[in-house]
Amino acid sequence: MKGHIHILGICGTFMGGIALLARERGYRVTGSDTAVYPPMSTQLRAAGIDLMEGYLPEHLHERPDCVVVGNAMTRGNPAVEYMLNHGLPYTSGPQWLAENILRDKWVLAVAGTHGKTTTSSLLAWILDYAGMAPGFLIGGVPANFGLSARSGGSDFFVVEADEYDTAFFDKRSKFVHYRPRTLAINNLEFDHADIFDDLKAIQRQFHHLLRCVPGQGLVVHPRGVAAIDQTLAMGCWTPLTSFGVGVDCGADWRAQLLAADGTTFRLLRDGEQPLDINWSQCGLHNVENALTALAAARHVGVTPEVAAAALAGFGGVKRRLELLGRVRDIAVYDDFAHHPTAIATTLQGLRARTGSGRLIALVEPRSNTMRMGEHREQLAAATASADLVYWFQPPGMNWSLESVVEHSAAPAQLADNIDELVQTVASAARPGDQIVIMSNGSFAGIHQKLLDELTKADTQ
């Protein structure tokens, strides 16, 4: 046993991944959190990790060799105060990852406002399919692996590179710790209004990340995105390759849609034969995610032909338009929607695939940025592809969603009670409907409640 680490905030997707990697490397791992629930709690307990409810000082009485502090921890937290007062050794999750896992690795990092989890899952799967046995740390659970992190059996490591801050004692973005050789930037919009004042502040952090990519590395980016072009203009010392959708978009990696929903597309590269790709993911955003992963994988030697075969077998990611069940030909999906653009692109993709069936969205604007009202002007338009929208007013949100409902491009209703919302949706649903539950939280367990109510109605 290498030693004992205790993780504060262990059930977050990132810190849970750190726990799995540490356990795999032979550390004894314990952890505290206030939200100990599946799927992360299931993963952790299956790995032999001891989980403790709350942030009690006594969790640290058996003095660990190191406390790994999640970025949700703040001064005033009882465990944090005990750690500081008793001089316990501590570090952040990103710093622990950099020093214990990423050192001497070829790091492939996926950054951007949207699509990081799906793209990093795609990239890890492509490398795995190609026999490269990569390690990875992803902010979700890819179906092809069944877990969010592993050490891997090679020098390659794929990491979802988040721009959120590192810890209460380190306000740099997490991704500056990772030192990638291959960097993919999916997109760049304003988000995380709780820590960034404006888009320029986020661009500054991305510039810091670009400063760490070696001259013999590669930066993959979308063509013609002003926020990214401006960031690159701040300084980039690394070769660039671009991607885009459209035969004449001018990108190095281009996709021509062969199906409106994006499930079939043609890969175009100057000087190379066109390559048709068929896979199960839908939406223009997922085609862009695929192009990003294809370009990044090529940098470590995976040919487009091999990568295309891997895409055909990609099983998706939990909570990324994940089909939870189908009752009376009513499909219920779970989607980790955290931003108006993510809501819009997901609904557009599903609309292109569903055809004539109704598309019903249940949306909980739960991210810190949306709760602050930063995106309130964009929310109504984000659901334009839906036939019916139910907006849920989360407890404690300091502004009302009434204005969003009033200006909704689709028929919309406002709800503030989960059980009543379940009854309303179940009564309105009919065969052929596609119901998408959109939240980056648990949404008070509405997913199973709705499936149960639909099933009960089916037996009556």
Domain of 242: which CATH number? 3.40.1190.10
**Cβ neighbours for 273, distance < 8 A, ≥ 6 positions apart:** none
Instruction: Identify whether 12 is part of a domain.
Output: yes
Query: Domain of 408: which CATH number?
Result: 3.90.190.20
126 and 193 in a common domain: yes
- Whether 99 maps to a domain, the answer reads no
Domain boundary among 281, 312, 343: 312
Shared domain for 157 and 189, answered yes or no, is yes
Asked if the structure places residue 317 within a domain, the reply is no
Same domain, 187 and 294: yes
Contact 244, 254 (CB under 8 A): yes
Residues 172 and 143 in one domain: yes
Q: What is the pTM of this model?
A: 0.83
Residue 218 within a domain: yes
Mark which of 58, 92, 126 sits at the end of a domain: 92
Q: In what order do the strands lie in the sheet with 149-150?
A: 149-150, 135-137, 156-160, 106-111, 182-185, 218-222, 240-245, 253-257, 264-268, 275-278
pLDDT of residue 376: 65
Domain residues for the domain of 308 are: 104-312
Distance, CA of 325 to CA of 231 (rounded, Å): 42
- Listed residues 64, 92, 120: the one ending a domain: 92
DSSP for 392-447, please give it.
Answer: E--TT-SS-THHHHHT-SS-EEEE--HHHHHHHHHHH--TT-EEEEE-SS-GGGHH
> Over its length of 460 residues, how does the chain's per-residue pLDDT go in tens digits?
689 999 999 998 899 999 999 999 999 999 999 977 776 788 898 889 999 999 999 999 999 999 999 999 999 999 999 999 999 999 999 999 999 999 999 999 999 988 899 999 999 999 999 999 999 999 888 989 988 899 999 999 999 999 889 999 999 999 999 999 999 999 888 666 667 778 899 999 999 999 999 999 999 999 999 999 999 999 999 999 999 999 999 999 999 999 988 899 999 999 999 999 999 888 888 999 999 999 999 999 999 999 999 999 998 777 777 888 889 888 898 887 767 877 887 888 778 777 678 989 898 887 655 655 566 667 878 888 889 999 888 887 777 888 888 888 788 888 888 999 999 989 888 898 999 898 877 788 888 899 988 988 666 5
* SS3 (DSSP) at 254: strand
Do 151 and 228 belong to one domain? yes
- Is the residue at 97 inside a domain? no
User: Looking at the structure, do residues 57 and 139 belong to the same domain, yes or no?
Assistant: no
- 112: which 2 tokens? 């951007």
Residue 54 included in any domain: yes
Number of domains in the chain: 3
User: Is 135 part of a structural domain of the chain?
Assistant: yes
Same domain (yes/no): 295, 442: no
CATH number at residue 64: 3.40.50.720
Same domain, 303 and 343: no
Extract the tokens encoding 107: 């790091």
Looking at the structure, tell me whether residues 70 and 132 fall in a common domain: no
Do residue 12 and residue 141 come from a single domain? no
327 with 296, same domain? no
Identify whether residues 199 and 271 lie together within a single domain: yes
Residue 337 lies in a domain: yes
